[in-house]
Structures are given as C-alpha cells and as structure tokens.
Structure 1
Amino acid sequence: MTGFADAQGDELRTVTERLCSFDTTGGREGPAQEWLADKLADFGFETYEWTADAERLGKHPSFPDDPTDIEHTEASAGGPSLAERPSVAGVLEFGNPNDGPTLVLNGHMDVVPVARESWDTGPFEPTWDDAGESLTARGSADMKSGVATCIFAAKHLAETDAGELDGRIVVESVVGEEEGGLGAAAAALSNPYPFERDAAIVAEPTDLTPVIATEGSVMKRLHLTGRSAHAATRWRGESVLPHFERIREAFYDLESERGESVTHPLYEEFPVPWPIVIGTVEAGTWSSTTPANLTAEMRLGVAPGETVDEVEAAYEERLAEVVEENEWLSEHPPTFERFSIQFEAAETDADEPVVGALQSAMADYDHNLDTTLRGATYGADSRHYVHAGIPTVIFGPGTIEQAHFPNETIHWPDVETAGAILVDTAREFLG
C-alpha cells in the first residue's frame, strides 16, 4: 500500500475541482494550462511548454493536408489559434536520472462541448454528492481527474522514494485530444524534452483496467447526385435516397464480413469489433421536390494491425461494386472523400516492461482488480506515442460510459485507487 489517498487525497480533490471549473471547450485550454503550469512549478516540477504547428501537422497522416483546416478545426473554429493553446508538462527527476528510464504520465485538458439543458448542475461548477464520493462536472471522467491523478502520483513518489530510484517522471497535460491529438502529436513528432522517453501511461477512463490496443478510424464523406422533379411528377426525377440505401446496406454488409474475417484476440468481446457509423445524412432542398443531392458523413473502424489506407480501400471497392451494378450511379458516380481527422490503430506488446509494471502494481494493490489486457474500440493519444516508438498503455479512473455524457460523473474512490496504482507502477518501472 502506498498511503497515497491519506497523503494526497485532500489536495487531489482541490486541484481536480479547480481543473473542472475551467471551460476548456472549443480550444479554450489556455487559462487552465497556465494555472496548471504554475501549480506544477509550486509542487517542484520542472515545467515545459509547447504548441502544435499546423504546417508540420499537415504532414502527419492523422491530420488534414491543409494547415488552415488544422488551425481552425471543427472544435476550435473561430476560437484561439494553435499558438494560444499550449500543452504543458512537469518533470521530476529521481537519483541519477540518466541512469534510469523516463516514464510519461499523460492526460488531456480539452473537453467536448456541453448541452447545458441536459445537465442537472452547472457543467463547469464541480458538484459532489452528499457522501463526497462522486464528482459531477464536464471533464470529471474525461479526463481532468486523470490529469490530476498523474500529478499527485508523481508528487507522492517524489515525497516517499526520491532517494531510492533513478530516472524521470513526466506529467503531461496536452491540448486538442478530442480534435485528433494536437498536443500529443506535436510532442511525438518533435520531442519537447532534452531526454528520451521510454514508456507512457495515458490516464483515460478505463474502469481501472489496462488497455494496450486502440482502434483506428477513417472519416469519409459520401456525396450522391440525382435529378430533381416536382412531387406531382416525381417519376421524372431521380431520387438519391434509394441509391443511398443500396450503399448503406452494402457498407453494413462489409462491416459484418470484416467482423468475421478480421480478428484480434483483444476484440472478441465486442459484438461489432470494427464498427462503421453513418453519423450525418443531409438530402434534398424542399419537401415537394425529389431529392437530387445527398451528403453523408461516416466513421469507418480500423483494427489494430490494419492501416487507415487499407480500410478506406476496402470500402471504396465495395462502393465501386454498387456503382457498377447501377446504371444511374455509373453515369453519375458518387464522390467518397476523406475529411477531418484520421486515427491510425495502435497496439503495445504485452511483454513491454511498462505493461508488466502496471499489472504487477494492480495485483499487489488489490487481487480483485482485473489485470486482463484489453483493447478499446475508441482512439486515444496513446497512438501518437506508440507510433513514435514509445510503448504506451492506457489506464485510468472512471468509465468511458460517462465520457461526453450529460451530468458526467466520476466515482472518487476509483481516482484514489488509480493514483495508488500509478505510484506503484512508476516505482517498479523506475526501479
């Protein structure tokens, strides 16, 4: 047992509340990051700061080629520029830091927008239940509690084991994770520290289970063209809706086929391991006119071991088959183009020392904790570090079911448990 909750619990609550009080939607992480950098310095961390460069991210496969599309993403359109959105980090050194490894504890400061009418409390007014065991606020689960937990785990280890270990712990608070990982991608492309990074833990909400694989995704926009006609003579027109339905059915058939043919041991528990979602459909211009145009935007799942390009090609091939079988579509071929952010899948080997250290710490802390390694059907900033050659595992308090949800809530004892486990994980990894 680390004594983490007794030593750090009260201040951990205070810092988490303060972080949750910042409205960090729409690219507005700046004030929270400035406050956090000062707090890290007060705690004795050496602080670092970096910003993402749109020109450089434009060469990254996850991001649009046009730097303007990165500078003004959907989440931050009209908001602060990338130069006003710093990622910050604090570093603690142990013993002879160059004789030991460096472990990164990572979290993100941005949160998704809020539908305030769906909330019972103010989204940025942190609210505790009567027992003081549940905290409700936007970002409480995804993932400001995780950021605070990383800070206090590193702080606790420095206060208890400073003379017994060699190495470094880096605590990161990055920006733009919900926009594809702006801060993490920048840190992966250009190391902001004067030392190498040996492993990372991303403290996303995982129900205190270790996740070593994340799914990728490719965002595609489909556009169909028909021919308009008055409703009274609709047979003179060519509605796009039946054509869209053919394509939709073909895509979901491919999803089912891929669920059988593309297998992975960490994804057998999911009923749809590589899901597609057609999230938006816009068609027609008038209720009494045959719809002559349709635009649909969708997300296609990418399995670990696959590339975005491979999955994109599979769906493009299936679309081509539908087009070839239909005279109208053959003469008026649809467009099917990428847009927004792409997520490559990522996986860390189960034999990596950071994975073993986490599992060992979990088992020592509580034998009832499930140390089974898992995969996730979402993407995370972990992929940027994995692709940079940094073994990364995802582990944190809270549940993904609360992420992006009205009245987002985290069970506080899980935060304290996560902190204690991160302390023991770091101790074993540095030791």
Structure 2
Amino acid sequence: MPADGERLGALDILERLVSFDTESSRSNVALIDWVCAYLDGWGVPYARVPNAAGDKQAVFATIGPMVDGGVVLSGHTDVVPVTGQSWTTDPFKLRIADGRAYGRGAVDMKGFDALCLALVPTALQADLTRPIHILLSYDEETTCLGVADTIARFGADLPRPGAVIVGEPTDLEVADAHKSVVTYLTTVHGHEAHSAKPMLGANAVMAAADLVSELNRIADMMIARGDPSGRFDPPNTTVHVGTIDGGTARNILPKLCAFHWEFRGLPGLDLAEIPALFAEKAEAVARERLNRYGPYGRIETIEEVAVPGLAPEPGSEAERLALRATGRNRTISVPYGTEAGRFQAAGISTVVCGPGSIDQAHQPDEYITLDALERGGAFLRQVLAECTR
C-alpha cells in the first residue's frame, strides 16, 4: 500500500495498476483497495460503488469544492484477456524499454488512470473553482455498465458533473462521436426427426439460415442508407453475424441452432429499428418454416450488451474544455464503443480524449509510449488549469 502522502509518478502508479490482473471476468477490488489507500494518503474523499454481486467496484473521488458542475476524468480498470496471446514478458509486470511502457492495460486504459491519480497532489494545491472528479470503473470491456450505478447517484448523494472526459486512447484527439454497439444471441429451437421425413420435425439450422439472410438484407439496407455526416469508417451502420452453431448429423433434422450477431449503429439510429425488423422476420420464419408441419419450434433472441453511441454536440462544455486543453480546433469520431454514451444519455456533456493509440490496445505486448504519457499529463494539467478560472 502507498504511504500517506507519498507522491508517486505516473509510471510508478502504472506499474502498480498493471500488476493487478483485472481481466473483465475477474474482480477488480484489490486494485480499488490500492487506489483508495492512495486517496486516503492524500485526504481525498471518495465513494466506492460496488456491483450487485460485490465482486467489482467503481470509485468516484472528488478534489475541490463539493458542488455540482465539475469535470469527471473517467477511466476503466478492467482489461481484456491475455489467454492465447504471445507476450514477450509477463503481461502483468510493467516493462520499460525503447521509450515504451509495456503491460496489459498500459494504453487501454490504466495509463490514463495512472495519470489521473498522479495529478492528485497537484490538484490539491490548485485553487479550484469547480471540482475535479476521478471515476475509475469496471466492465467497460464487456458491457460498459460499470459506470451506471455511479451515474445514477449524480445529483443525489454525489455531485452532478457538468462535463466528462473519457480517457480512452485517441492520441489526444477530441472525439465527440462513436457508434452504438448492441449484441444478441438468437437460438432457434427445432424438433429432431429423420432427414428423409422433414414433415415429422422442424429444421433449426435451415430456419436460422433464413434469419441470417435477413440480417444480410438489413446490413445491405444500412449500407445503402449510408452516413449523412461523412465522419465514420465504414460510412454506415454495420450488421454482423459472428458465430453460428447447430445440428448433430447430416441425416438428422437439427434440434438447435444458435448464432451471435450484432449491429454498430451510427449516432441517431433508432436502436429499436433493427431488432424490430429482425423480430418481424423471426415471427414469419417460426410460422412458415419451423411450424409448417405442426407446433414444433420457436425462436428466442436475447440482448446481451447494449452500449449507447456518442452523438456530436457541437459547442458542448466538454468539447470546448477538451479542445482548449489539447490545443485542437476540430473533433473526430472513433470506431470503437466507450462508456461516453452512458454519460451523455444521462444528460451530461461528454467527449473521449486520452493518451496513446487504440492501435496498441488488446494486442500482445500492449504498450503506451513514454512520450504519450508525458503529453497526457500535460493535457490533464491544462484541464486542471481550466477548473481554476
């Protein structure tokens, strides 16, 4: 544990954060314990926000006046798995070499978390007119729901912020837009029979094929609709089937067929549109194919993850703050999902802006450059300066 008032540099903190194996399937509580001990050492007030099971926690810390209108620096503590990846060294032991800091989560996004925590002693000495909040969450890599319980407390027992900067790696470009990500598992339940007598059952695989064809049709429709903003690559909402599994043998009508699918929607897409089109087709397939010879089958679809998109809000408080702090004069879009849309959905101005490149995320030998960390620290100090005016 850190000593009381121990001033640690960003690399020292990053070394400690990387040492905790916080893959999304694991608990992050040991890491949060360390962070809270660090905050205690500086006398910074904070709230722990556990999940329902109690095996994961977010922490929300406040520096400055305990009032509404502050700035949240938001980062996640979970990381993607290392299983099956070829790492040169232990992924949970920070390695410094060739101007880079290597380790799982170094860029996505424990580097940003470390910079925020390293800022604490400087922030405590600043004459803040509005608070700086540090929010470290969990489950960003799976559901982006790790911030939800904290957001629900804004304006109740926690101050309601005026702006949020989500520190995902953007090379310190200011991102004001990304697509939504919604994923599903569809399971077709048929009825087994000899393939020579299809009228005695229901073929789950052939019904699933009809549904996948419908997703192809919807995908083509979204391509044709395009991206009126011209800001996204690819320039349209995408629809994708990632896995499909079903059947026992070539001469048995398959009892089950399941497939995972998703869509990544442009900001402004009605998130109910694609599932409604799919549900309409599923009803027809169940009626016309699965149950053609009797009440043999059914189709069920479960929504697994729904990450809201981030829509541009030109001139918003978060945008203006981040542009001033980075010295940029334009915003960008990013191709990946983040927690930013959850803050925006709660009515809080939000952008994505952090050090390092997403190109290094999720890779074996993941790294953030020391230069990116230095520039990220300068960015946060400028954000801090904006909160003293």
TM-score range, shorter chain: 0.7 to 0.9
In structure 2, which of residues 55, 60, 65 is the aligned counterpart of residue 89 of structure 1? 60
Per the alignment, residue 381 of structure 1 pairs with: 339
RMSD: 3.0
Opposite residue 86 of structure 1, the aligned amino acid is Q
Q: How does 1:275-424 map to 2 (within 5 A)?
A: 275-286=238-249, 289=252, 291-319=254-282, 327-328=289-290, 334-363=298-327, 371-424=329-382
How far apart, CA to CA, are the structure 2 residues paired with 1:371 and 1:110?
Answer: 32
Q: TM-score, normalised by structure 2?
A: 0.85
Deviation at 1:355, TM superposition (A): 0.8
How far apart, CA to CA, are the structure 2 residues paired with 1:179 and 1:197?
Answer: 25
Q: 1:379 to 1:295 in 2, by over 3 A?
A: same
Q: 1:360 to 1:193 in 2, by over 3 A?
A: same
Q: 1:384 to 1:23 in 2, by over 3 A?
A: same
Opposite residue 213 of structure 1, the aligned amino acid is A
Opposite residue 313 of structure 1, the aligned amino acid is A
Per the alignment, residue 29 of structure 1 pairs with: 28
How far apart, CA to CA, are the structure 2 residues paired with 1:193 and 1:167?
Answer: 17
How far apart, CA to CA, are the structure 1 residues paired with 2:173 and 2:291?
Answer: 47
- Residue 145 of structure 1 aligns to a residue whose secondary structure is helix
- Residue 407 of structure 1 aligns to a residue whose secondary structure is coil
- Residue 135 of structure 1 aligns to a residue whose secondary structure is strand
Q: 1:235 to 1:144 in 2, by over 3 A?
A: same
Per the alignment, residue 261 of structure 1 pairs with: 225
1:20-60 superposed Cα distances (whole Å, 9 cap, x missing partner): 010112231011100011112224422221223x4xxxxxx
How far apart, CA to CA, are the structure 2 residues paired with 1:401 and 1:333?
Answer: 45
Q: How does 1:205-284 map to 2 (within 5 A)?
A: 205-226=169-190, 228=192, 240-261=204-225, 263-265=227-229, 268-271=231-234, 273-284=236-247
Structure 2 residue 10 is the aligned partner of structure 1 residue 19 = no
Structure 2 residue 101 is the aligned partner of structure 1 residue 135 = yes
**What residue ranges of structure 2 are gaps of 5+ in the alignment?**
1-6
Per the alignment, residue 385 of structure 2 pairs with: 427
Percent sequence identity is 24
Q: Is the 8 A contact 1:219 1:341 kept in 2?
A: yes
Q: Is the 8 A contact 2:106 2:367 kept in 1?
A: yes
Structure 2 residue 136 is the aligned partner of structure 1 residue 156 = no
Q: Is the 8 A contact 1:101 1:430 kept in 2?
A: no
Deviation at 1:274, TM superposition (A): 1.9
Deviation at 1:197, TM superposition (A): 1.2
Q: How many residues align?
A: 379
Q: Is the 8 A contact 1:97 1:166 kept in 2?
A: no
Q: Is the 8 A contact 2:182 2:306 kept in 1?
A: yes
Per the alignment, residue 6 of structure 1 pairs with: none
Deviation at 1:334, TM superposition (A): 5.0
Q: TM-score, normalised by structure 1?
A: 0.78
Q: 1:235 to 1:48 in 2, by over 3 A?
A: closer
Q: 1:190 to 1:244 in 2, by over 3 A?
A: same
**What residue ranges of structure 1 are gaps of 5+ in the alignment?**
1-8, 55-80, 364-369
Q: 1:212 to 1:329 in 2, by over 3 A?
A: farther
Per the alignment, residue 3 of structure 1 pairs with: none
- Residue 170 of structure 1 aligns to a residue whose secondary structure is strand
In structure 1, which of residues 145, 152, 169 is the aligned counterpart of residue 132 of structure 2? 169
Deviation at 1:193, TM superposition (A): 4.8
How far apart, CA to CA, are the structure 2 residues paired with 1:184 and 1:121?
Answer: 32
